């Protein structure tokens, strides 16, 4: 019935497009927050926290020191990495969920096509996870290194 009236829908194309784009944006934010929560539970204590406890600081203390004293170029690099980390983290979750969702359509899709798509999505998820882990680890290592460098500068600039 919908396809019979498809020519009449062309007048509503801009409204439909705006609705679809808004829905896609909202789903993206939900996926971002869910992936952030999952990854934080799984990796914050094993990857991020040890870097800063070895410095005798919490991550929040280290972050404050870096945000107040690091160069603008360093802060721009951190900001760019945070965007890449967010995208890679969400992609890792999204590709995995797409692969799982295809299993619910196994009776509608040819087995060879289904297998190919699931393997492709698993590989994309793993590649996204690898990019996330590399960037995540590198970012916090860079911040920890900046803390080491800044502590000497801040102490010398503010002798007590």
- Its domain, for residue 67, covers 6-157
Number of structural domains in the chain: 1
Residue 1 lies in a domain: no
Q: Report whether pLDDT(155) > 50.
A: no
Predicted TM-score (pTM) of this structure:
0.80
Maximal C-alpha separation, the chain: 81
Residue 57 lies in a domain: yes
The CA-based angle 119-123-127, given to 5 degrees, is 170
**How does pLDDT run across 65-109, given as a tens digit for each residue?**
999 999 999 999 999 999 999 999 999 999 999 999 999 988 888
Residue 69 lies in a domain: yes
Backbone φ, ψ for residue 108 (5° rounding)? -100, -15
Residue 112 lies in a domain: yes
Q: How far apart are CA 113 and CA 121, in angstroms?
A: 12
């Amino acid at each position: 019935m919908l396809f019979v009236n498809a020519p009449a829908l062309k007048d509503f194309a801009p409204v439909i497009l705006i609705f679809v784009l808004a829905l896609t944006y909202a789903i993206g934010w939900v996926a971002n927050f869910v992936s952030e929560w999952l990854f934080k539970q799984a990796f914050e204590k094993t990857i991020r926290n040890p870097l800063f406890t070895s410095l005798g600081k919490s991550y929040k203390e280290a972050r404050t020191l870096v945000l107040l004293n690091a160069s603008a170029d360093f802060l721009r690099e951190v900001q760019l990495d945070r965007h890449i980390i967010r995208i890679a983290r969400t992609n890792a979750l999204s590709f995995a969920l797409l692969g799982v969702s295809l299993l619910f359509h196994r009776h509608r899709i040819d087995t060879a096509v289904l297998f190919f798509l699931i393997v492709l999505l698993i590989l994309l998820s793993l590649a996204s996870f690898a990019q996330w882990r590399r960037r995540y680890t590198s970012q916090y290592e860079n911040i920890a290194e900046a803390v080491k460098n800044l502590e000497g500068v801040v102490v010398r600039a503010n002798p007590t």
